[in-house]
Chain A
Amino acid sequence: MNKTHKDRAKELIMDRHNSARKAFMGWLGRSVLLCITAVPTLAIVFILFFILKESMPFFDNLGYVKEFFTSTNWAPSKEAPHFGALSIFYGTAMVTIGSCAIAVPLGITVAVCLSEIVSPRIAQTFKPIIELLAAIPSVAYGFFALVVFAPILQNHGGALISSVIIVAGIPLAALASMPASEIAIGRLFKGAKQTPKTILRWGFAIAFAAIPLWAGFSVFSIEINSGTNALNASIILAIMAIPTIVSISQDALSAVGRDMREGSLALGSTRFETIVKVMLPCAKSGIAVAVILGFMRVIGETMVVWMASGNSLKIPEPFYNFFEPVRTLTATIAGEMGEADQSTGSARYHVLFAMSFCLLMTGMLMNAASQWIGSKKSGK
């Protein structure tokens, strides 16, 4: 009997021992998992640390810093170097704004079309096409911009742009004239008869349509000196940003409840009114996130701007001239790091890190903004 007691006690102890071991192993496994999960966090910390460390020697020198943000004199390889990066910042801003101006309206329209207008089956077939656009490597876009698109833009740029303006602009302007004329009639000629109203409507339509016509013809004879310019980069970047904008806004639009849509339709509004007045306002935070992410994709893009923007160190004249070559931060980093002495740590090496620090900060701020907007939405 004693023996068995002893054995049972032993078993119990072993059991406890085992469970302690098990618990320890579980804890260990969980910590290992946690450590591995922390790799992205570590990577962020290290990236911040190293980019900051390498750009510190540049930011320490205050004379350079003022020049960096205010001057356009960029001559990093000279005996007495100058690091005025204003034109580079300007080029980045220009290309980013240009591409967003194309990508945002187009992307949102496509998203609306996919989620609200076409049948789900067609939307399903379109999804891979949009994904295909997103999957194509940036260097392929850059190649297209440089080898295929730039010569076309240089030789037939004026005709191309003016035909786009006329073809796309006149219907849009005619459309826009309708609500405008309605509003004008409603405000000014409330009691007028039918005939003057009709005349007024046609007048509005013609006046509105004249704008793109005039713009198209004035652009027609324009001479483009270089096919690699801000416009080329903007268009190609817009194509790259559209998939991001489309897929995220589409998700946001489909997340809006059916009750909203059906309620609006039941109250007698057309589909257009439902979309503009109900769906888009409801999905606005999701669409804002989409725009921000598209913006981030554009601003961090290297190969397309390096190959398509022309890499000129001048601020275009006049400042909105998209036919001039420009240069962006990413292209400068990619182009000059090869020449900068990578190991000795020259001023040129550090200034490029300072640029990437600016890029990194912009990216992180944008990201924080998008996450903040996203969390606000989910909190609501």
Chain B
Amino acid sequence: MKTSTRKVLDKSFTLTSYASLALMCLVIVLFLAPIIVNGIGAVVFRATVEHDKFLYETLGRESSGYREELEKSNAARKPLYEMMAHFEKSDNYGHLVEKINAARAQCLSKLESEADIIFAALDIEDSRERLEKVRAIADAAWSPYINEISALADDSLHNGGTLSAAEILKKQSNSLPGAAKLALNSLYEKKKLSFQQKSMLRRNFTSFPMSALAQNLEKLEQANAAYNSFKKGVAELLGPSTAAEKEKLNLLRQKYGQPRENLARDVFEQSVLHISVAEKDAEGRDVVRKVESAEYFKGTPVEEMISYMQKNMPQMMQYHWTVYLGFFFDNPYDSNIFGGIWPMILGTFYLTVGAMLIAAPLGVIAAIYFSEYAKPGRLVSLLRMCVGTLAGVPSIVFGLFGLSFLINTLRVSESKSVLAGAITLALLILPTIIKASEEALKSVPNSFREAALGLGAGKWKSIYSVILPSALPGMLTGIIISMGRAAGETAPIIFTAATSTGAALAVWEVFTQATPALPWNIYNMCSEHEMADKVQHVQYGMVLTLIAIVLTLNMVAILIRAKIQKKLKN
């Protein structure tokens, strides 16, 4: 090969390897950046008045300026609620009801007064002519009533009040068949009619206005469904409008509106500015379609509400920056949609410390045996090999082992418990602790041992008064790093300790109770939570908390190690 080619190859290889280092850094940055940014967002964020309302009413914590905010937001919401109330309950339909009822009475009385004409029509020989005639009479008789109904429906569609109009029409369609029947019965008394004639009368004189009613009603119901969809969106955004309404609701997510600005904006966009409308598609199936509400409600009072909301969102929600440290120390409410993650943090703490308390003494003692007592031989190499093998067992297998041995066979607890999880995790981290402690013991210079023995100390005495203290920092490094590992492991605790919901445990409950824990709840929140996209800030917050715990532990370990190295150098 030419020298120049070799040089180029050498240079470019150097470049490639630098590039791979840069890639590693890039990976770390790309990985940590979204988690840190969004995770901090769980604690520091733009809150709405609903967040403060929740804090005040559920946790009894009054944030500064809460009263003022509440007043302002209530004042901004009042016109909207008034508009809605006005829209829903129109007062000017009282006289319309009377008018409609009068029209109905008139029509029914007309039926009786025109009995002769009807009978005459029924006697017509030709069936088609007869039908036409009867229909014409019914038409003429009912038309004032139908006109009134249509007028009502149209009026309400344009000026609001479809809810009360639909109510009126419903009442009408309930009472109309009875009234019509009465009127027809009086006809039957006047003249004996055949069964066919009777049914013809019934069909034309009752079904005819009924179908007109149903048509108008359907129009109104459709408008109402759209309005209800809009109203639901408003309730999701702002929370229930009155205290009485709030009492009736069970779930916290219904009792309060959106607590965060980004969620509020999302809901406003998704559920208020867009509504879902049920329609029939080309093949007659019911489909739900999302439409723009401004377009859909064009020309009705609802349009005004929408534009009012668009203009006054900040006043209604009272956006403001807040630092919610309670995220770490509050219990979760309503599947983590409100509140914090305290039980998970505490559960992780119990599991980690429990695993450490079990594994650290065992690991340190085993390391002492390996480095101070063991003489090379079959037994020791077998023991050593088993430590290596244990380190290579997949973590999920530890979980299954914990389930079948600790819980189903030994019955350390009824079902999952922190204790079972801690033992499982302890087995998992035991090899790491043994190896690290052994390294630490090996790095103690032999002169220490000899000096201790020479001064007359026994073997055991020299171990615990000379060797252990000087190996302690190294051991601590290993123990702390494996604590970090135990805190982050998920697979071993799925079947032995973790539950997705639950309160924070007291110390004495750890022997019998399962606990929520950060790693498991992170999985649960983003894969199995019913409203996973509503709690994304909680997910990020939990991931950041877990990473912070693990990295802090590692950082401490690295610092200790650095100190040891410095000491060794000196």
CB distance from A340 to the nearest CB of B (A): 10
In the bound complex, do residue A364 and residue B523 qualify as a contact, i.e. CB atoms below 8 Å apart? no
Question: Chain B 280-318 against A: per-residue CB contact (8 Å), 1 yes, 0 no?
Answer: 000000000000000000000000000000000000000
Asked if A352 meets B400 with Cβ closer than 8 Å, knowing A143-B539, A182-B1, A302-B491, the reply is yes
Is A199 in contact with chain B by the CB < 8 A criterion? no
User: Could you list 16 examples of A-B contacts with CB < 8 Å?
Assistant: A26-B459, A26-B460, A37-B369, A37-B374, A40-B383, A126-B24, A132-B551, A135-B481, A139-B519, A144-B31, A175-B16, A273-B6, A300-B393, A360-B397, A364-B389, A371-B385
Interface assignment of B17: CB less than 8 Å from any CB of chain A: yes
Given the known A-B contacts A40-B430, A364-B392, are A131 and B558 also in contact in the complex, defined by CB atoms under 8 Å?
yes
Q: How far is the CA of A239 from the CA of B27 in the complex (A)?
A: 8
Q: Which residue of A lies closest to B20 (CB)?
A: A109
Instruction: Count residues on chain A whose CB falls below 8 Å from chain B CBs.
Output: 88
Query: For the complex, what is the distance from the CA of A370 to the CA of B484, rounded to whole Å?
Result: 26
Closest CB of chain A to B492's CB: distance in Å?
9
Q: What is the 8 Å Cβ interface bit string for chain A, positions 106-145, against chain B (1 contact, 0 not)?
A: 1001101110011000000010111111011111111110
Which residues of A come within 8 Å of B, CB atoms? 26, 29-30, 33-34, 36-41, 43-44, 46-47, 50-51, 53-54, 106, 109-110, 112-114, 117-118, 126, 128-133, 135-144, 146-148, 171-172, 175, 178-179, 182, 239, 242, 270-273, 275, 293, 296, 299-303, 306-307, 330, 333-334, 337-338, 342-343, 352-353, 356, 359-360, 363-364, 366-368, 370-371
Q: Which of B7-15, B94-102, B245-253, B258-266 contacts A (4 or more CB under 8 A)?
A: B7-15
A109 touching B526, Cβ below 8 Å: no
CA gap between A352 and B396 in the complex, in Å = 11
CB contacts under 8 Å to A, within B405-436, are 405, 408-409, 427, 430-431, 434
Which residue of chain B has its CB nearest to the CB of A274?
Answer: B10
> Is there contact, CB below 8 Å, between A135 and B12?
no
Q: Is B546 interfacial (CB-CB < 8 Å)? A: yes
Q: With A and B bound together, what is the CA distance between A342 and B16 in angstroms? A: 52
| Number of A-B residue pairs at CB separation under 8 A | 260
A147:B539 contact, CB within 8 angstroms: yes
Contact B7 A140 (CB under 8 A): no
Q: In the assembly, what is the distance between CA of A341 and CA of B373, in Å?
A: 47
Q: B547 at interface (Cβ–Cβ under 8 A)?
A: yes
Q: Known: A33-B368, A270-B9. Is A140-B488 also a contact (CB below 8 A)?
A: yes
Interface pair A138/B373, CB less than 8 Å apart: no
B519–A333 touching, CB < 8 Å: no
In the assembled complex, the Cα of A128 lies from the Cα of B527 at a distance in Å of 32
* A106 touching B23, Cβ below 8 Å: yes
- Is the CB of B362 closer than 8 A to any CB of chain A? yes
Q: In the complex, which of the residues B366, B370, B385, B489 contacts A137, with contact meaning CB atoms closer than 8 Å?
A: B489
Q: Which residue of B lies closest to A236 (CB)?
A: B31
What is the chain B residue whose CB lies nearest that of A296? B392
| B387–A40 CB distance below 8 A | yes
- Tell me which residues across on chain A come within 8 A of B8, comparing CB atoms: 178
Chain A contacts of B385 at CB under 8 A?
371
Q: Which residues of B contact A110 (CB under 8 A)?
A: 17, 20-21, 24
Q: Given A140-B488, A147-B536, A182-B5, decide whether A356 and B400 contact each other with a Cβ distance below 8 A.
A: yes
By beta carbon, the residue of chain A nearest B11 is: A272
User: Which A residues are CB-close (under 8 A) to B213?
Assistant: none
Q: How far is the CA of A139 from the CA of B546 in the complex (A)?
A: 9
Chain B residues contacting A43 (CB-CB under 8 Å) are 386, 390, 427, 430
When chains A and B are docked, how far (Å) is the Cα of A334 from the Cα of B527?
13
Question: CA A110 – CA B18 in complex, angstroms?
Answer: 8
Q: Specify which chain B residues have a CB less than 8 angstroms from the CB of A301 in the assembled complex.
A: 394-395
Complex CA distance for A29 and B395, rounded to whole angstroms: 33
Contact B393 A47 (CB under 8 A): yes
Contact A334 B392 (CB under 8 A): no
